[in-house]
Chains A and B, each alone.
Chain A
């Protein structure tokens, strides 16, 4: 399954956004987990733990087909992510922000797939509304908006 570049951009943005507040030594696994946990908290409150767990499991299955490094990752019954980062390298926040060294590909793909599922089920407007709950300070305007995040 190929998701839209928009969702991939959004996933990268969220990882970068969280990476900005990360210490330079913080692992990319940690940043990915931070993004994932915010999504889990927000979506579980919105749709229930079981609904989030189902979505996350589906997203992980899709992501694994593209990112072998995720092979050991599991979704627990409460929707939490287990086993992430065993093969992921350390994040370099400065490089990541400069776009030279994107956050861990596995994590990006997983977040991308999760956002992609939300996009499929809810559409862009509602997906961004839900993300605003988790990242109230982030510029999550319409990805196409010239005044938005990419501007």
Chain B
């Protein structure tokens, strides 16, 4: 069968930010869906969002309530959400209570009542909330399977997209007939991780189109349910062809060490212990980008945006003006219980809003702390997805990471994430001539050339300033306690030595 011979299944907006992408572009029209999950997991809110997004006076939504939460209380709470438009009631959305029929009669009567209302209203959307309470009662003439089958057939014939909402346990997935009949199965989970609540959504089944597999985090805010796809909403976004452009730090000596600058689209890790100037370097990177016409984002976790901007001012870098001009966004992502996906959503929003080319994450340790404990366990995997997604759309990322200063080791990161980064710049303290001085070395530049020099630097009122030539007079600099190699009297001229070698 040719593609043009196949029936086109319209995709309806779910009304839930982020969910359309997860379900493959929208919910299949006329599908028969189950929203399952424990009480309080957001089932009703999700259904309301779908209803409000799709109901019209011509093709209204019928919302059948059964036992459980009264419609009055339900609407009392639901109207607090920003998606709730009271003007849609009663012409576009009608609530009908079936509790009396359920209590006094059998499922046949329930089906009859639903049929009667559907025939009368010709709805585009039908919701039964909670379907579970309807079928808990011992059945009489019509068994459950037959009821579900007939309900699904009837509603599909009437061209209604249907949601049945129910509290189901995951072990019911195997032998509950409703899951066999359903075209779509949305499972909402809410788990406690130490002191945090983590909400996750899974599309267990969706006929007719490919959904994004796996567990997607979601949050319930004033705006209702908001889902965060594991693909970060970047499905279909193709990476621009590599530009081979080098991005400057605004520190000429460092740019030289980097073989001309950071390659556009790279992920750079700046690692060092406290006070070595990681954030200063990151700020200079962003400020230089802005001066070159490349908007930037700074995601901060350990200080507030104003403090970050003030510190930049003390270095002679103006971050206030580009913020006002829409060329810089400083995101404060401190709230606990974040998922990487939520963080990514905030960052991507900002990236798209200002067309950011550079992103600073300051710092990975703060980022990790802002995550719910459950997400921290997957931090490395999450970072991989995040970096891959962002660099995939051409954003150059600079992340800072604090490493414990050791005089026996030279660690790059506490996260074992160096494989995730294209370039690593290591900052560290060294004890020289009775002073605690700072050195910098480019450890790695994936696919590019860089200097192997160990350079001393200072943090001045102008930011990071690299001093003199490479430190040739000392051995064991990376240990932090170098030994003078007694070459101070050497007349060797290093002025022509660029120190650049190709990475192997």
A residues within 8 Å of B by Cβ? Answer: 44-51, 55, 118, 121-123, 125-126, 129-130, 132-133
Enumerate chain B residues within 8 angstroms of A47, measured Cβ to Cβ.
65, 70-72, 95, 97
Query: Do A122 and B76 touch (CB < 8 A)?
Result: yes
Query: When the two chains form their complex, are residues A48 and B65 in contact, meaning their CB atoms are under 8 A apart?
Result: yes
Q: Are A121 and B76 in contact (CB under 8 A)?
A: yes
Closest to A127 in B: B86
By the criterion CB–CB under 8 Å, are B87 and A48 in contact?
Answer: no
Complex CA gap A46/B65 in Å reads 8
Indicate with 1 or 0, residue by residue over B55-94, a CB within 8 angstroms of chain A CB atoms: 0000000000100001111011001000000110110001
- Tell me, in angstroms, the Cα distance from A44 to B76 when the chains sit together: 17
Contact partners of A132 in chain B: CB under 8 A: 90
List 24 A-B pairs, Cβ < 8 Å. A44-B100, A45-B97, A46-B72, A46-B97, A47-B70, A47-B71, A48-B70, A48-B71, A49-B99, A121-B73, A121-B76, A122-B72, A122-B75, A122-B79, A123-B76, A125-B79, A126-B75, A126-B79, A126-B89, A129-B87, A130-B89, A130-B90, A132-B90, A133-B90
Given A51-B70, A126-B79, answer yes or no on A46-B100 (Cβ-Cβ < 8 Å). no
Shortest C-beta distance, B120 to chain A (Å), equals 12
Chain B residues with CB under 8 Å of A50's CB are 99-100
Cα distance A47–B72 in the bound complex, in angstroms: 6
- A27 to B73, alpha carbons, bound, how many Å? 35
Chain B positions within 8 Å of A, measured between CB atoms, are 65, 70-73, 75-76, 79, 86-87, 89-90, 94-97, 99-100
Q: Assess whether B79 is in contact with A51, with CB atoms less than 8 Å apart.
A: no
Q: How far is the CB of A130 from chain B (nearest CB, A)?
A: 7
Interface centre among A46, A122, A126 (most CB of B within 10 A): A46
> Is there contact, CB below 8 Å, between A121 and B96?
no
Docked CA distance A121–B78 (Å): 12
Return B459 CB to nearest CB of chain A, in Å.
58
Cβ of B75 and Cβ of A51 under 8 Å apart? no
Q: Which residues of B contact A51 (CB under 8 A)?
A: 70-72, 97
The residue in chain A whose Cβ has the minimal distance to the Cβ of B63 is A46
The answer to whether B97 and A126 have CB atoms under 8 Å apart is no
CA distance A45 to B96 in the complex (A): 5
Residue in chain B with minimal CB distance to A55: B72
Select from chain A the residue with minimum beta-carbon distance to B89: A129
Report Cα–Cα, A130/B72, bound state, in Å: 11
Q: Report A-chain residues with C-beta under 8 Å of the C-beta of B65.
A: 47-48
What chain A residues lie within 8 Å of B89 (beta carbons)? 126, 129-130
Q: Which of A44, A55, A129 contacts B97 (CB 8 A)?
A: A44
Closest chain-B Cβ to A143's Cβ sits at a distance in Å of 15
Choice from A55, A118, A121, A123 contacting B86 with Cβ under 8 Å: A123
How far is it, in angstroms, between the C-alpha of A122 and the C-alpha of B84 when the chains are bound?
A: 12
The 3 A-B pairs at the shortest CB distance, nearest first, are namely A125-B86, A48-B97, A129-B89
- Chain A residues, CB < 8 A from B70: 47-48, 51
A121 CB to nearest chain B CB (Å): 5
Q: Note all chain B residues with C-beta closer than 8 A to A129.
A: 86-87, 89-90
Q: Quick check: B71 and A46 within 8 Å, CB to CB? A: yes
Question: Across the interface, do B90 and A48 meet the contact criterion of CB distance under 8 Å?
Answer: no
Contacts of B76 in A (CB 8 A): 121-123
| Least CB separation from A128: chain B residue | B86
A46 CA / B70 CA spacing, docked (Å): 9
**B100 close to A49 (CB less than 8 A):** yes
Chain A residues closer than 8 Å to B71, beta-carbon distance: 46-48, 51
Q: How far is A96 from B431 in the complex, measured between Cα atoms in Å? A: 98
Least CB separation from B70: chain A residue:
A51
In angstroms, Cα B97 to Cα A129, docked, is 16
CB distance from A129 to the nearest CB of B (A): 4
A51-B71, A121-B72 given; 16 more Cβ-contact pairs under 8 Å: A44-B97, A46-B71, A46-B96, A47-B65, A47-B71, A48-B99, A48-B100, A49-B100, A51-B97, A118-B72, A121-B73, A122-B79, A123-B86, A125-B86, A126-B86, A129-B86
